[in-house]
Amino acid sequence: MLDGGCSCGDVRYRLKSAPMFVHCCHCLDCQRQTGSAFVINALIESDRMDALSGDPMPVSMPTDSGRPHDVYRCPKCLTAVWSDYGRRGVLRFVRVGTLDDPTALKPDVHIFTRSKQPWVGLPADVPAFEIYYDMKTLWPKESLERRAAILG
């Protein structure tokens, strides 16, 4: 179980289990939206998260694909705590930097490394892809089953 929250403390959440997979995304959207070199997202079922306090509000972000991307932010301090890609509701991309212990999760994969900042070095033992990857070959079987259970 891992707890996290926003900067002002209004939003607090708990992950009730390990995530299915953890992305480190180096795409330009993530760089712009975070103002940083990449974002680290823990992919977890919404029903494996408890809202301990606060009520994060969705902010719709423009995307190249045209598919919806809502970033959920603390209504007071506007810290981004998770994303809902595709407005599916059942799956959240939790920003690992908002965990009380952000070292608790590390990336399982690096994606969109084509736009990676040139000074960022990647570990040799973690798969990295210029764009995206094939989930079926990279995700553990149990995580694929969890994903199928919510998305079919």
Shortest spacing between CB 144 and Zn ion, in angstroms: 22
Q: How far is Cα 140 from Cα 147, in angstroms, rounded to an integer?
A: 11
CA within 13 Å, CB half, 83 = 23
CA distance 80 to 97: 10
Minimum CB separation of residue 142 from Zn ion in Å reads 25
Stretch that binds Zn ion, among 12-20, 29-37, 86-94, 144-152 (CB under 5 A): 29-37
Nearest distance from C-beta of residue 28 to Zn ion, angstroms: 8
Rounded least distance, CB 12 to Zn ion, Å:
9
Which residues, numbered 55-94, are part of the site for Zn ion (CB under 5 A)?
74, 76-77
Q: What is the dihedral of CA 118, 36, 69, 93, to 10 degrees?
A: 90
Q: Is residue 32 near Zn ion by the rule CB under 5 A?
A: no
# of chain residues touching Zn ion (CB under 5 A):
9
DSSP label at residue 98: G
7-26 binders of Zn ion (CB under 5 A): 8, 10, 25
Are the C-beta atoms of residues 73 and 57 closer than 8 Å to each other? yes
Per rule CB under 5 A, is residue 43 in the interface with Zn ion? no
- β-sheet with 12-15: strand ranges across: 2-5, 12-15, 49-53
Longest CA–CA span in the chain (Å) reads 41
CB-nearer residue toward Zn ion: 6 or 71: 6
The least CB distance from residue 48 to Zn ion, in Å, is: 22
- Residue 6 makes contact with Zn ion by CB under 5 A: yes
Task: Give the interface with Zn ion as residue ranges (CB under 5 A).
Answer: 6, 8, 10, 25, 27, 30, 74, 76-77
